[in-house]
Structure 1
């Protein structure tokens, strides 16, 4: 890929989540199934140790505990008893894997789009260029391949996953006609949703303000200004700590303005990447209201109403709401599939091996279904392949990109965010098809690496911006003045090496943020609920 000249503080490439989605703290809170547990931390011991009379042995022990605290969870392979730590996957664990993969791609997008032109796809010929002059012939721009670094499609996947997860338990209660439990669950979820989304962002943006006062943003300001790609807003260093604090407070008021329904309402200069968090919150509230509206409808009518809402949402140019409603539809279809599958065998025959319906579903799926065979599996594999192509719709010049010209002409005229229409359709199809392909659902996205990525997906999304703007801008190579083939080759190699360091740093910081900030925020929200709500 070649460096390109683009100057904009806002771009279609500004992306998220999720949330964008053990399982990630975000998904734990959304499902409201398992209480979060904050393991005892060595930091507690460190903070309660007397300041005087520490022997060298105690000092070494404290140092060891501190190092253990800072060690990533992926390195903690064993319990204290020496046995491997293996967690049992839930029926929706695959969504964590999808969310983790999407969050990592968003991070790669933000890491690269300041230096390289990643908005144009293979063969694009924008206005003012001739086919001979076009510089968009890299194989990395091919459909599907470009999903390795394309951020906007991942936003749509985040939102579909959120719609699914936020609707899964309410739909189970609707189908069981447990309306009183549904209302209790709704009050709990609505109360905790804002705390769950905003509290970690308060912490991350406050850290940005601290780093700014330490001049870490000041010393990387020159690098930010010389970038030829998308120029993100770089946190301004205020003259004194009080001014920095008051500026942070003002931006938090903008960030939490839930009444601003503009498409990017709540976007703040401290970290533009967080623009999806207010969007996620507002769309969640609409989804919860939808739950109440359709709760007593029969499934067929409920699905029809949701399809109608999606059509209206597309007509209203609300690309953000459509994937949430689509996620709810997919969750209902998945519950129907689970019920049909569990009815194929007598539940009593499974009584000796399983304890509940969820385990029965896993047992039946693993013993009676052969992944990859049958006409339905072939159909879902075709849908999955089609979804990858639609997700690859370019962020720029889609109307001038081979393979997407006709699709561009089919986008509704009043849909102003054209680069989000087909990726949203692709996100819906990829979640739907993955739900029905056991190989992807139970093997690929439930693999340990992707499950770990799912656990840190929300912290990764929240923290990758500050790391890129500080450490990243310190070690990334500056844009070359003359892009000769040899110079570009050296530049790309230097960029690749620096990126490896940044990736490791972001993963490490995200892991620490998960344990020190994200999980405590989940616990705080639950404790506040217990104190403020009547039994």
Structure 2
């Protein structure tokens, strides 16, 4: 069997995995907002574990692991081409690729986020979150902003949140955009490392990347740091002929080992964010974390990151898993991952909330001891069966809107970025036509 060579499939399976991760982000936020209405809310150390307290099944609602996967895939995809060029002895082309990609990344990453924030801001100012403010869902209420007090204040609030999104990760109009500044930082870490090591011999570059992985591991950067460098290490392994030749010669051992890695990765990803002592398996991982993680770090962030590292390593060396992740439907979902990430939370707080809570009547809370009328209670969900119909329809609607976004908004952002490149780049470094932005 010939050694598997780095090819288009090396990016295709990453697209499919990114598509799966984007779905899991949506599922995680739906579980936070509607879980108590659809699932048994009885969770305690005195009761048997519920369905989503079990390992592996819990992966379906683990949003932190998806963010870690996005960071890892950013390091993998963004470094794959420059590493190939560097290994081929074409360092000048590798430097050109890094310079152009780092310049484009900001425009193609920031502009869609700004447009999404403006859309959410308009919805907020025109009362689109009014139902969300009264819905019987703590997550929906807490993430739904209030309209500004005046016309001038509305624009002040908008520009303030556009700035704080990239300064400290706070965006009142879309709370989940806090991850974007870290993902952009991860891309820049990738480009800076490639720039510094483009002339380094491949084996020594792998050694440097392992050292940087360990440095970020010990430094407590579980969200972006070691995940990005893991992606870069995997990119090196993808194009390293010795590694690929060894893997090809030991097909059976590789298949078994990669399958075990996938299982271990999913098990680690299942680690809950809180109340880890309520079930035996999570209590075991909690004790294990005291030995394998640095002292004083947040174990609930390290396990999803480590699990994502191990899972993706297993997928990369498992032909069946790569073939599944390369399915055209998953790849299509992956190409919509960034629009999905930007749009799903505002649409949950508006369209889905209107459907599930909009037809309800706020119950009366009666009167207090002094005879004064108490504020009405939260809007109850219309009907549990409506949820089972509305949620699948919501996914279809969400992907339809995301497809429209990818068709019209992303190309617009690309044209603006290309125009700015033409304006500021030297004549001997004009940008070439680029693909639409993926969630990398």
The interval holding the TM-score normalised by the smaller chain is 0.7 to 0.9
How far is the alpha carbon of 1:284 from its aligned partner?
1.7
Q: Does 1:112 align with 2:15?
A: no
Q: Does 1:527 align with 2:419?
A: yes
**CA gap 1:417/1:291 in 2 versus in 1, 3 angstroms:** same
Question: Where in structure 2 are the equivalents of 1:97-496 lying within 5 Å?
Answer: 97-116=16-35, 125=44, 130-131=45-46, 134=47, 137-223=49-135, 226-228=136-138, 231-257=141-167, 265-319=168-222, 320-337=224-241, 340=244, 374-409=252-287, 410-411=289-290, 412-441=293-322, 443-477=323-357, 492-496=384-388
How far is the alpha carbon of 1:286 from its aligned partner?
1.9
Runs of 4+ residues deviating >6 angstroms: 120-124, 478-481
Q: What do the CA deviations read for 1:439-459 (whole angstroms, capped 9, x no partner)?
A: 221x21111221111121110
User: 8 Å contact 2:131–2:353 — kept in the other structure?
Assistant: no
How far is the alpha carbon of 1:94 from its aligned partner?
0.7
**CA gap 1:489/1:211 in 2 versus in 1, 3 angstroms:** closer
Q: What do the CA deviations read for 1:137-182 (whole angstroms, capped 9, x no partner)?
A: 2223321112222211111111111110111112112212322222
How far is the alpha carbon of 1:398 from its aligned partner?
2.3
TM-score w.r.t. the length of structure 1 is: 0.68
TM-score w.r.t. the length of structure 2 is: 0.82
3-state SS of paired residue (1:476): helix
How far is the alpha carbon of 1:327 from its aligned partner?
0.3
Q: Distance in 2 between matches of 1:479 and 1:338?
A: 67
User: 8 Å contact 1:162–1:324 — kept in the other structure?
Assistant: yes
User: 8 Å contact 2:95–2:198 — kept in the other structure?
Assistant: no
3-state SS of paired residue (2:62): coil
Q: Distance in 1 between matches of 2:197 and 2:52?
A: 45
User: 8 Å contact 2:22–2:66 — kept in the other structure?
Assistant: yes
3-state SS of paired residue (1:374): helix
Q: Distance in 2 between matches of 1:167 and 1:492?
A: 47
User: 8 Å contact 2:16–2:334 — kept in the other structure?
Assistant: yes
Counterpart pick for 2:390 among 498, 501, 507: 498
Q: How many residues align?
A: 398
Q: Distance in 2 between matches of 1:163 and 1:100?
A: 17
**Going by fraction, where is helix more abundant, 1 or 2?**
2
Q: Distance in 2 between matches of 1:479 and 1:491?
A: 12
Q: Which residues of structure 2 form unaligned runs of 5+? A: 1-6, 364-379, 429-440
Q: What do the CA deviations read for 1:472-518 (whole angstroms, capped 9, x no partner)?
A: 2112257999xxxxxx9995433222212322221111111111111
3-state SS of paired residue (1:114): helix
How far is the alpha carbon of 1:405 from its aligned partner?
2.4
Q: What do the CA deviations read for 1:276-310 (whole angstroms, capped 9, x no partner)?
A: 11111112222222112222222222222212212
Deviates more, 1:241-250 or 1:145-154: 241-250
Query: How big is the alpha-carbon RMSD for the aligned residues of Structure 1 and Structure 2?
Result: 3.1
User: 8 Å contact 2:212–2:229 — kept in the other structure?
Assistant: yes
Q: Distance in 2 between matches of 1:184 and 1:292?
A: 10
Q: Distance in 1 between matches of 2:198 and 2:182?
A: 24
Q: What do the CA deviations read for 1:331-364 (whole angstroms, capped 9, x no partner)?
A: 00011159855xx9xxxxxxxxxxxxxxxxxxxx
Q: Which residues of structure 1 form unaligned runs of 5+? A: 1-87, 258-264, 345-364, 482-487
How far is the alpha carbon of 1:321 from its aligned partner?
0.8
